[in-house]
Amino acid sequence: MMDARDLLRSRPEGLYCPRGDFFIDPVRPVERALVTHGHADHARAGHGAVLATRETLDIMALRYGAGFAGATQEARPGEEIALAGVRVRFHPAGHVLGSAQIAVEAEGMRIVVSGDYKRSRDPTCAAFEPIPCDIFITEATFALPVFVHPPADREIGHLLASVRRFPERTHIVGAYALGKAQRLIALLREAGYEEPVYIHGALARLCAYYESAGVALGPLLPATVEGSDGAPPPGSIVVAPPSALGERWSRRFADPLLGFASGWMRIRQRARQRGVELPLIVSDHADWGELTATIGETGAAEVWITHGREEALARWCELAGIAARPLHLAGYEDEAE
Amino acid sequence: MERFAELLDRLVLTPARNGKLRLLVDHFSTVPDPDRGFCLAALTGGLDFPAVKPAMLRALVTQRVDPVLFAYSYDYVGDLAETVSLVWPASGGEARAPALSEVVARLATASRSDAPAVMAGLLDQLSPSGRFAAIKLATGGLRVGVSARLAKQALAVFGGVAVQEIEELWHGLEPPYTGLFAWLEGRAAKPENAMAAPFRPVMLAHPVAEAELSQLDASAYAAEWKWDGIRVQAVAQGGIRRLYSRSGDDISAAFPDLVGAMEFAGALDGELLVGDPKEGTGTFSDLQQRLNRKTVSRAMLARYPVFMRCYDLLVAEGRDARTLPYAERRALLSDFVAALPAARFDLSPEVPFACWRELDEKRRNPPHPVIEGVMLKRRDSPYLAGRPKGPWFKWKRDPYTVDAVLMYAQRGHGKRSSFYSDYTFGVWSGPAEAPVLVPVGKAYFGFTDAELKEIDKYVRDNTVERFGPVRAVRAEPGRGLVLEVAFEGLNRSTRHKSGLAMRFPRIARLRWDKPPGEADRIEALRALLPPG
Ligand SMILES: [Zn+2]
Ligand SMILES: [Zn+2]
């Protein structure tokens, strides 16, 4: 059997496949990149060629402009693509619209790179599919037993209850611009909320893109209109990127009540530090239970861990009798989510 | 239990007093007896479960969760109760979650030996929030930013009654307070205060401005020194003796020396001070040695004896004196105190004056450093609970001020969370040719909304470093922002690098005009420290 390091290894630029001469989610410009999804720390501009799903390519073009890479190629879900002596396939990861895991295979060995993923239901993207493999490279953003994400509809219920209890306050909810914001709005619609949702300018293009991709978000209005006084009426829900919460932007609303939709909100102290009154535990990353269950489902004999709290998941693998090692890849941050 | 847990979660994250009040009133209105009563007891510190200890929780959780994974988790979360509540394995039993009253009953009957099993059984049945609430409840100290006073205020709003009525009843009531709630809902008569030696809500004074004084008739008022101790009420009735704080908390246990000398029948209002009335009065930092202690050592009692400087009489020999005018109460008080042990009780002297100017002169030059101004009391006024406008005024000594330099700014909470509104300031120390700033205090009020915006902008434009919600701002002799800080006094402190701690600092003025190099030096503050 071949050495796994000939199939994938870490290099300063990112995860590298020597045999196929390509990188997965490289953090610096490279000749040939495979990109799992459109979040900025995975999808960067300036590569020679990019292979990704249609949605990820569209999102990159939206963020970086049409010339974000020398050449692009669309990977259809489940379709096998040969690259030198290596076969790759993209499978849904359930993280955000267009997000994929990438299976890399040669000489009977298969490694699956999870990218970012989650297992809980999300009306805005295709669900994660566990892919049997020899080695599973998993993310570990919420890899501590304290992270157990409750059902998202329960958290949406908290938001709607707060709107009913404080009808005079504008509820500003921080949500990551790509994925979380659209999921939050879609979940509000599922819960029967029909009022317009007011969105920060930074979300406009991505929301429009989700709609064009067939994800219905209902009536959306800009939260702030230059030179007009069309402020959202009291009791409205405003969705904004998390960075806007602590900034002067949030001051213009009537008696704002700050919420934040993130897996980090599981920890009270995190919510407190950010001045969040309404923490909503809604995450686009797998929680502890999802991470450990998924490792089991892939049947992998070996797990490589990246992107978060590697040491705790490595400990769990040790207890479960699965070989594991942290893969120290530079350049990824705790996503603000 | 889930309603109680949800309330705690919301209270922790709701900074505004009004928001907290609303959550509490909402809770009392929608949660039935007896759970709301046990919630009230938990918030007012009326429950105690000595059998449950933090070390026991740690042992319990590591029987269920790998100790290494627990250690990683604890390290990340930082709070034991929260970590345990989050990592505790779910058993799928949340559907039959016990009510708060059942949790209280189980904890109250647990012995030291079966407490671990009782606690584990509870944690198995609860959601993560419920587990957190149960642990906080069992180990004491909810720390959700709700004082007993605020909880009583919420009761008053809920029942549409004055908070004094609740305080007057409070110490005769027992959890789960069903009689109290029945009265507040108009379903039953007001409960009678069955307790011996109950607390009577105190009378409070308004600050007076010099301009207002000219409207007042000096001859209608008596004046006393305003002592910088703690306000207490000493009640002895039917063989029971209790010492209360101004909010009605029973603090008898911390002051056995004073309680032991309460050989009278009645209720006295006065100031608790350290020292011996005949020998001399100690400073506020001496008094601090005796505060917030559950038990006191013999050495403490000898070194920092306390006494009560009396200024009002509420009950004498079973007769309620509160309806009498001040002048009559004062005469009774004078006779009453004369019969008490002189090492533990004395009379707060009146300060004679003919006109406001004469009193002002005395106020500015008090005979003792523990005096922080004068009190004015209308001679014809009865003793009224609360803070009625008119009969009592406090005329404080002017605050101290210091010119300090802004060093760090931190984001505020709630409405102010988008502003840098908490300021750490320092004064110069070290050699004059190469001075360094040493932080001496923190202030987060005293400025207007417009000034807040100006400082916020200044902080953002002059940040030199960021750590989480804190920014370090430029602060050099030639560049920086000078704040005129007002404060009530200084204590020695070993916890602060500067060796001193400010009392009630607030921003008095922004000195945009002043070069930071001309701000005060630490020696100026040290000169204000009490001797010792
Ligand atoms: Zn991502
Ligand atoms: Zn990521």
Residues A76 and A51 in one domain: yes
Cβ neighbours of residue B330 closer than 8 Å, sequence gap 6 or more: B222, B350
Residues A158 and A256 in one domain: yes
Q: What is the CATH number of the domain that holds A187?
A: 3.40.50.12650
Say if A333 falls within a structural domain. no
Q: Does the pLDDT of residue A175 top 70, yes or no?
A: yes
Residues A157 and A140 in one domain: no
Residues A13 and A141 in one domain: yes
pLDDT value of position A224: 83
> Residue A329: helix, strand or coil by DSSP?
coil
Evaluate whether B485 touches B444 at the Cβ level (below 8 Å).
no
pLDDT value of position A330: 58
Residues A139 and A261 in one domain: no
Å between A271 CA and nearest CA of chain B: 8
Q: DSSP readout, B313-367?
A: EEEETTEE-TTS-HHHHHHHHHHHHHTS-TTTEEEPPB---SSHHHHHHHHHS-S
Question: pLDDT: is A245 or A56 the higher one?
Answer: A56
Question: What is the rounded CA–CA span in Å between residue B202 and residue B387?
Answer: 9
Fold of the CATH domain B206-396:
D-amino Acid Aminotransferase; Chain A, domain 1 (3.30.470)
Residues A212 and A166 in one domain: yes
Across residues A232-257, what is the average pLDDT? 87
pTM, rounded to two decimals:
0.73
Give B-chain residues touching A268 at CB under 8 angstroms: 9, 12-13, 79, 82
* Domain B400-526 CATH (choose: 3.40.190.10, 2.40.50.140, 2.40.10.120, 3.40.640.10): 2.40.50.140
Fold of the CATH domain B2-139:
DNA ligase i, domain 1 (1.10.3260)
Dmax (CA) of chain A: 68
pLDDT value of position A335: 46
Give A-chain residues touching B61 at CB under 8 angstroms: none
Question: What is the rounded CA–CA span in Å between residue B515 and residue B524?
Answer: 18
A141 alpha carbon, closest ligand:
2
Residues A115 and A248 in one domain: no
Ligand 1 centroid to residue B85 C-alpha, Å: 28
Evaluate whether B123 touches B131 at the Cβ level (below 8 Å).
yes
Residues A319 and A256 in one domain: no
pLDDT value of position A228: 58
What are the start-end ranges of the H helices in B348-433?
356-364
Residues A121 and A159 in one domain: no
Which two structure tokens, joined as six digits, stand for A156? Answer: 């949406």
> Residue B510: helix, strand or coil by DSSP?
strand
Å between B113 CA and nearest CA of chain A: 29
> Residue B272: helix, strand or coil by DSSP?
strand
Q: Does the pLDDT of residue A332 top 60, yes or no?
A: no
Closest-CA residue to B247 (of B313, B167, B177): B167
> Using alpha carbons only, how large is chain A's radius of gyration in Å?
20
Q: Does the pLDDT of residue A74 top 50, yes or no?
A: yes
Residues A17 and A59 in one domain: yes
Residues A107 and A197 in one domain: no
Whether the complex's predicted ipTM is more than 0.85 is answered with yes
Which two structure tokens, joined as six digits, stand for B396? Answer: 């404080």
**A312–B73 C-beta distance less than 8 A:** yes
Query: How far does CA A131 lie from the centroid of its chain?
Result: 19
Give A-chain residues touching B90 at CB under 8 angstroms: 148
Say if A239 falls within a structural domain. yes
Residues A218 and A271 in one domain: yes
Number of independent structural domains in chain A? 2
A184: domain range?
A: 152-280
How wide is the angle at C-alpha A255 spanned by C-alphas A249 and A261, nearest 5°?
65
List b or e across B5-36, with b for residues whose CB sees 16 or more CB atoms inside 10 angstroms. Answer: bbbbbbbbbbbeeebbbbbbbebbeebeebbb
Last residue of a domain, one of A280, A296, A318: A280
Which two structure tokens, joined as six digits, stand for B72? Answer: 């990683």
Question: What is the rounded CA–CA span in Å between residue B318 and residue B32?
Answer: 39
pLDDT by 10s per residue, chain B, length 532: 989 999 999 898 888 888 899 999 999 999 999 999 999 999 988 888 888 888 899 999 999 999 999 999 999 888 899 999 999 988 765 557 899 999 999 999 988 889 999 999 999 999 889 999 999 999 887 778 888 889 999 999 999 998 888 888 887 788 999 999 999 999 998 887 666 788 888 999 988 877 788 889 999 999 999 998 899 999 998 888 999 988 788 889 899 999 999 999 999 999 999 998 888 888 777 888 888 777 788 899 999 999 999 999 999 988 899 999 999 999 999 999 999 999 999 999 999 999 999 999 998 888 887 888 999 999 999 999 888 888 999 998 777 889 999 999 998 876 777 889 999 999 999 888 889 999 999 998 888 888 999 999 999 999 998 887 889 999 999 899 999 999 888 888 887 888 888 888 999 889 888 889 989 999 888 888 876 5
pLDDT value of position B259: 95
Q: What is the CATH number of the domain that holds A118?
A: 3.60.15.10
Across residues A311-324, what is the average pLDDT? 94
DSSP bridge partners of A261? A280
- In chain B, where the domains are located: 2-139, 206-396, 400-526
Q: Does the pLDDT of residue A146 top 90, yes or no?
A: yes
Say if A336 falls within a structural domain. no
> Using alpha carbons only, how large is chain B's radius of gyration in Å?
26
Say if A335 falls within a structural domain. no
Say if A83 falls within a structural domain. yes
